[in-house]
């Protein structure tokens, strides 16, 4: 009888062990499912955060591009205005110099003719040497 009790006792232990193993297996499966769901939620949140960062960087790039374009337009306008002012100033100075030369030629026609003659002679000598 003792051996029958031992067999029953071992069978009972084996059944309890099987139940405990099944519970442990179920707990592990639930934990894995829960961890997988948590991981999926965190991955979705991470994807949303990355998308938000991309949108922010894109908006910043567009704003910087627009600002650079506006700055280039302002610089182009300022450069064009400076060129117009320079051209107008050069034109005014040229007219002033021409006016001064004309006035000098009217006052001193003999000097102008002599200078012109001397210049022509020097130029002729230089051309002759070539």
Higher pLDDT among residues 5 and 111, named by residue? 111
Mean pLDDT of 1-28: 78
Rounded distance, CA 10 to CA 51, Å? 60
Task: Indicate the Cα dihedral angle 70, 72, 76, 77, nearest 10°.
Answer: 20
Structural domain that includes position 38 = 2-129
Instruction: Report pTM.
Output: 0.43
Number of domains the chain is built from = 1
Mean pLDDT of 97-114: 88
Mean pLDDT of 42-69: 87
pLDDT tier at 85, thresholds 50, 70, 90: very high
Residue 1 has pLDDT above 60, yes or no: no
Residue 60 has pLDDT above 90, yes or no: no
What confidence score (pLDDT) does residue 2 get?
A: 60
């Amino acid at each position: 009888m003792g051996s029958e009790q031992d067999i029953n006792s071992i069978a009972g232990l084996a059944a309890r062990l099987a139940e405990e193993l099944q519970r442990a297996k179920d707990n592990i499966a639930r934990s894995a499912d829960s961890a997988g769901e948590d991981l999926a939620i965190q991955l979705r949140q991470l994807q949303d955060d990355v998308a938000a960062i991309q949108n922010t960087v894109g908006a910043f790039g567009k704003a910087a591009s627009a600002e650079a374009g506006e700055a280039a337009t302002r610089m182009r306008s300022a450069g064009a205005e400076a060129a117009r002012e320079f051209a107008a100033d050069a034109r005014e100075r040229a007219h002033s110099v021409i006016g001064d030369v004309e006035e000098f030629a009217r006052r001193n026609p003999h000097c102008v003719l002599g200078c012109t003659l001397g210049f022509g002679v020097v130029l002729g000598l230089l051309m002759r040497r070539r």
